[in-house]
Structure 1
Amino acid sequence: MSKEVVITLEGLSCNGCVNSVITALMMVDGVEQADVTLYEAHVTGTMKVEDLIDAVEEAGFDAEEKKD
C-alpha cells in the first residue's frame, strides 16, 4: 500500500539541486512520485523512509523525516 512521506531538506539552493534530489529519490525502490522544492520533498510509494534519507544524503544534501 502506498504512503506519503514528507522530508525536510537542507542545502538546496537552485533548480539543479532540486533535480538532483528528484533523480536520487526516483531511484529508490518503491518510489512512485517525488515532488521536491528547495525545502521539502513529498514522496509517495512503498519505500522505506531510511532509504529516502540515505538517497538524499548521497546526493550531497541533508534530510530528515518531517513529523506532524
Structure 2
Amino acid sequence: MVRKNRLLCLIDFSEFTETTLRHAKSFSGCLEAELVLIHQLAPIVPSRASESLREQVYKNEEEDAYERLT
C-alpha cells in the first residue's frame, strides 16, 4: 500500500502568514510531504443584507484571497 504524506497549513493572510508558510514549506520538505494550503472565506455581511449583496461580498472576498495567493 502506498502512503502519501500531506501537511495541511491553515492561512488567514494576517501578519503571521508569511512566516507560517515559510515554516510549513520547510517542515513539509523534511517530511517529504505534500504541502496543502487552506484558507476559509468568512466574510462579514450584515444580517439583513440581501442575497445579492451577500453573494457580491463573498465574490469580492474570494477574488481578494486568490490575488493574495498568486
Q: What TM-score comes out, normalization by structure 1 length?
A: 0.29
Rg bigger for which structure? 2
Higher relative contact order (CA 8 A, sep 6+): 1
* Structure in which a larger fraction of residues adopt strand: 1
Structure with a larger share of its residues in helix: 2
